[in-house]
Amino acid sequence: MGLIYTVIVISSIIIFFLNLGWGIINLYIFIVDGIQTIVVGNTFIENIFFSEYLKWILLIDALWIISALIFAYTRKFYMTDPQLHYLSVNPINEPKIFVIIPTYNEEENVEQVITDYKNQKFVKEVIIVDNHSSDKTVEIAKSCGATVITKDKNKGLTDSYIVGMRESLKSDTNIVVFTDCDRTYSATDLEKMLPYLDNCHMVIGTRQRQVLSEENTQNSMFFVWGNYLLAKVIQLKYFSLLHLGVVELTDVGCMHRCIRKESLEKIIERFVKKNTNEPVITPNSGLFAILMTMIGIENNLKIVEVPITFKRRMGRSKTRSDKKPRAIQYGLTFFRFILSR
């Protein structure tokens, strides 16, 4: 499955650009020299026969279609358990929420973020996992009543979330919420995310609705389309022919999400290496959101995306993903990770 999937994805990208290039070249020739340089036969079949470029393009397209059909057939019985695809109801009668917020030099934002989440209904505990901040983040967080865990050095975002997850399993709560401290996410969105946990295991926010985004966020057209295409690559990876897929995704990088505690207990050890207890991904790679989604799918968790509000980032991005060159680098890293996992 893995080899065919990789061939399908990479070849589809190559074929897209081959067809695009062939069309542009023919359009240019038509504009410069006229239609007679393109149409060299009397019929459509003759044009195909006499056009060297078109023959090769059509051959490659045909081979891709054949490989896609083979891939689809091999996935005929993939994840076909009806319980993964149809409505089930398992209400959480007394929601008790544990909120995980990683921080690094967020003294400008941390008070507002903690206050916003503590003011939400059902939130019982807010934990700050601090990556060795050099400003007053820790002091402010403690003064706001949050539980604070400090690390002796910056071990990255992934490590912070793993630390937070382990702390959540010790608590008397039943829902775990993940968020960031840059104020791009709204705590009030929990009100529309939580009800879906009665029917699924994990709810992920999606930032792909422009009417719910402020102006001048990182949601540029480049960011939105790149994010969307990577989401569809993940969907293809877990494609199921009989059910036309296991999950519908539009946003691979959103960390505003919530998960049932019993579901988190099921998958938490998948985030670390067995022998070293270190994260399975590079701590600062920005891959945690993708990893969590993929681990959830692989462990038969029902996942639902919910449109959320998305605001301008307050303060400087720690990953610099708001800059196009850096965003391209992240996108290629994400793409390689999805293919190789």
Give the residue ranges of DSSP H helices in the chain.
2-33, 44-50, 52-74, 110-118, 137-143, 157-170, 190-193, 221-237, 261-267, 288-298, 324-340
**Span 25-47, average pLDDT:** 58
C-alpha to C-alpha distance for 325 and 312, rounded to whole angstroms: 20
CB 256 within 8 A of CB 113: no
Concatenate the DSSP letters of all residues of 104-172 into one string.
SS-TTTHHHHHHHHHTSTTEEEEEEEE---SSSHHHHHHHTT-EEEE-SS---HHHHHHHHHHHHHHSS
Where does the pLDDT of residue 36 fall: very low under 50, low under 70, confident under 90, or very high at 90 and above? low
Does residue 167 carry a pLDDT above 80? Answer: yes
Q: Which two tokens stand for residue 141?
A: 């967080």
Segments making up each domain of the chain, as ranges: 2-74, 97-340
| 3-class DSSP assignment, residue 226 | helix
Does residue 49 carry a pLDDT above 70? Answer: no
Comparing 167 with 282, the larger pLDDT belongs to 167
Domain 97-340 has CATH 3.90.550.10: yes
What is the percentage of the chain residues whose pLDDT exceeds 90? 49
Give the model confidence (pLDDT) of 242-259 as tens digits.
887 788 999 988 999 999
pTM recorded for the entire structure: 0.86
Strand 175-178 relative to strand 257-260, pairing: antiparallel
Does residue 15 carry a pLDDT above 90? Answer: no
What is the percentage of the chain residues whose pLDDT exceeds 70? 86
C-alpha to C-alpha distance for 133 and 322, rounded to whole angstroms: 21
Give the model confidence (pLDDT) of 109-155 as tens digits.
999 999 999 999 999 999 999 999 999 999 999 999 999 999 988 88
Does residue 175 carry a pLDDT above 90? Answer: yes
Of 118-132, 174-188, 195-209, 267-281, give the lowest mean pLDDT range.
267-281
C-alpha to C-alpha distance for 195 and 162, rounded to whole angstroms: 25
Q: Which of 191, 110, 122 is nearest to 146 (CA)?
A: 110
Check residue 29 and give its pLDDT. 63
Does residue 94 carry a pLDDT above 70? Answer: yes
Does residue 70 carry a pLDDT above 80? Answer: yes
C-alpha to C-alpha distance for 307 and 6, rounded to whole angstroms: 30
